[in-house]
């Protein structure tokens, strides 16, 4: 099965970053698809946690929101939101946070608050929810986003969730000692932060993607690793499981 979409490649590449040992705080949307694909394929032992307090959830279909009954129905247990954040998240018990966003900068800072000025924005977005705490309290952060000049910007209109700040040791100098964003998976490539500057650098291009496509879809001059890999294409199993998951989700949400 060689035909796949850029979104499927992004989801598969993101799923592969997870293991059965991970305790993962899952965001709705692309992160949820990636985390559940991992659970249904190579990482059956992964513990998925959603912001509403569901622990060890194993949804048969992807949730519409953190309040989706599917999460609570399939969880090992459900705790209060204060317990989730204070004991589980701030207690350092979650290894990976999986986030998305409306805007992203080269240091992995995320905006989900406003586009334009805060007082009179062009667009008022859903807000941070638990993402600001997830960004600083999880052991590390993976980000999934489709590349576009509208989303990958030189300067954020608002910093909702801290990445590496202004780069270098800025995150640590703000008293945050978790790793922060360690991987950015897009529909075109895999990016990782430079060890010193913390600026995201392209380390792997997805099959058929060129450097020119990368440069055309970000609002800054992107950096490329000296030796870049090609992301392995999705396997037949990965595509079948992912497509079946989306088909079940579509049927459930449409009432078919």
pLDDT in tens, 83-129: 999 999 999 999 999 998 999 999 999 999 999 999 999 999 988 88
For the segment 146-163, the average pLDDT, to the nearest whole number, is: 96
Q: What is the reported pLDDT for 66?
A: 87
Which domains are present in the chain? Answer: 6-254 (3.40.1080.10)
CA neighbor of 192 nearest in space, from 222, 169, 218, 213: 222
- Tell me which of 255 and 27 has the higher pLDDT: 27
Q: Is the pLDDT of residue 28 over 90?
A: no
- Give me the torsion for CA of 224, 179, 58, 10, rounded to 10°: -10
Q: What is the reported pLDDT for 112?
A: 95
Residue 1's pLDDT band (cuts 50, 70, 90):
low
Q: What is the reported pLDDT for 41?
A: 98
Element (H, E) at 33: helix 30-40
Residues whose CB falls within 8 Å of the CB of residue 178, separated by 6 or more in sequence, listed in order: 136, 137, 138, 139, 140
Q: Is the pLDDT of residue 17 over 90?
A: yes
- Tell me which of 1 and 207 has the higher pLDDT: 207
Number of helices followed by number of strands (H, E) in the chain? 8, 14
Q: Is the pLDDT of residue 256 over 60?
A: no
Percentage with pLDDT > 70 across the chain: 98
List active site positions. 51
Q: Burial level of 195, CB count in 10 A (0-12/13-18/19+)?
A: exposed
pTM of the shown model:
0.93
Q: Is the pLDDT of residue 2 over 70?
A: no
CA neighbor of 203 nearest in space, from 226, 232, 181: 226
Does residue 100 contact residue 31 with C-beta atoms inside 8 Å? Answer: yes
Q: What is the reported pLDDT for 40?
A: 98
């Amino acid at each position: 099965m060689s035909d796949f979409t850029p979104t499927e490649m992004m989801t598969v590449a993101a799923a592969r970053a997870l293991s059965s040992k991970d305790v993962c705080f899952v965001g709705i949307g692309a992160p949820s698809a990636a985390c559940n694909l991992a659970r249904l394929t190579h990482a059956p032992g992964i513990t998925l946690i959603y912001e509403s307090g569901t622990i060890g959830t194993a949804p048969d279909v992807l949730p519409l929101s953190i309040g989706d009954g599917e999460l609570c129905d399939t969880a090992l247990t459900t705790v209060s939101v204060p317990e989730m954040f204070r004991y589980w998240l701030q207690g350092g018990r979650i290894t990976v946070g999986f986030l998305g966003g409306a805007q992203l900068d080269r240091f992995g800072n995320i905006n989900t608050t406003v586009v334009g000025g805060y007082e009179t924005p062009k667009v008022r977005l859903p807000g941070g929810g638990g993402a600001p705490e997830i960004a600083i309290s999880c052991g590390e952060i993976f980000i999934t986003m489709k590349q576009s000049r509208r989303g990958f910007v030189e300067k954020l209109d608002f910093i909702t969730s801290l990445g590496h700040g202004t780069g270098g040791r800025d995150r640590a100098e703000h008293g945050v000692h978790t790793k922060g964003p360690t991987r950015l998976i897009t529909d075109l490539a895999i990016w990782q932060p430079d060890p010193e500057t913390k600026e995201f650098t392209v380390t792997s291009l997805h099959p058929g993607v060129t450097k020119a496509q990368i440069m055309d879809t970000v609002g800054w001059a992107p950096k490329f690793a000296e030796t870049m890999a090609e992301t392995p294409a999705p396997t037949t199993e990965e595509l079948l499981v992912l497509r079946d998951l989306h088909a079940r989700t579509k049927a459930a949400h449409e009432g078919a």
